[in-house]
Structure 1
Amino acid sequence: MNLTVSQDFNFKSPINKVWNALTDSDTLAKWIMENNFKPIVGHKCQFRNEQWNLIVDCEVLVVDEPYKLSYTWVGGPINTIVTWTLKQEDGTTYLHLEQTGFEKEDQAFNGAKYGWAEMGEELKKVLEEM
């Protein structure tokens, strides 16, 4: 079985501002985790949360600025791919998230669903502050 976490967000921010929030390491740290991310295909990086003793290994797979960003998301029992797709219409940026590769509907899958929903709310706050 191959399960996918799929979520949609929309923001009253220009697409380039949302893209920046997805690709700038300092901004990502405000709404996801500390990281050494760079939007360069093949770049290997980590997202780290010391509080949860969590390290997520990533490799950037796709950079199509400002429309699509994809990277691996590997940590603990999770070996998945995260893909962000952006579209701007009438002053609203639509952001679609897919995290693919879950093998079963378990704690990791449900944690990802909950976690991305929470991080989406954090992203909204970060965009309002930018």
Structure 2
Amino acid sequence: MAEISLDFQFTSSINAVWNALTDSDTLAKWIMANDFKPIVGHKCQFRNPQWNLIVDCEILVVDEPNKLSYTWIGGPINTVVTWTLKEEDGTTYLHLEQTGFEKEDQAFNGAKYGWANMVEGLKKVLEA
């Protein structure tokens, strides 16, 4: 099994980062259009019609503002995404784990590149 593990840092408060991870309108600005709600058991989708991509999700863990986890299922990918947040000395540390990849293949590398790219968008959203 392969997993993606990425770390990011923000000067924004932990609550601002949490909001960007859990608010549907804000998520649409840096991931994709969605009907996300931070409620355990909620089923939702992220949609990108440009790429003909639909990702099905079910919310697994909501521990505001420290941890958020949900399934991420689309095409060949059947995984779990977990965000862990902590704030220290005015810096918010965000850790992303995506588990469940069979191997480091095209889907794995695409997801790894995709998250790194999307979090750049998150930084811009937080700075706005």
Aligned residues: 128
String of CA shifts for 1:58-113, please: whole Å, max 9, x gaps: 00000000000000000000000000000000000000000000001111000011
In structure 1, the partner of 2:83 is: 84
1:97-116 aligned at under 5 Å gives the runs 97-116=96-115
Asked if residue 61 in structure 1 is aligned to residue 66 in structure 2, the reply is: no
Secondary structure at the counterpart of residue 74 of structure 1 = strand
How far is the alpha carbon of 1:40 from its aligned partner?
0.1
Q: Which amino acid aligns with 2:9?
A: N
Q: Which runs of 4+ in 1 moved over 3 A?
A: none
**2:9 matched to 1:10?**
yes
Measured in 2, the distance between the counterparts of 1:91 and 1:105 equals 35
Q: Secondary structure at the match of 1:123?
A: helix
Offset of 1:20 from its aligned partner?
A: 0.1
**Which residue identity does 1:19 align to in structure 2?**
W
Q: What is the rounded CA distance, in whole Å, between the counterparts of 1:90 and 1:82 in structure 2?
A: 26
The within-5 A match list for 1:43-62 is 43-62=42-61
Secondary structure (helix, strand or coil) at the match of 1:18 reads: helix
- Partners in 2 of 1:105 and 1:92 — Cα distance? 31
What's the TM-score, normalizing by structure 1?
0.98
Paired amino acid for 2:71: T
**Residue 119 of structure 1: CA displacement?**
0.6
Please list every run of 5 or more consecutive structure 2 residues that lacks an aligned counterpart in the other structure: none
Identity, % of aligned pairs?
A: 84
| C-alpha distance in structure 2 between counterparts of 1:68 and 1:105, whole Å | 25
Q: Partner of 2:125: helix, strand, or coil?
A: helix
SS at match of 1:45: strand
1 CA distance for matches of 2:125 and 2:42? 25
What runs of 5+ residues in structure 1 fail to find an aligned partner?
Answer: none
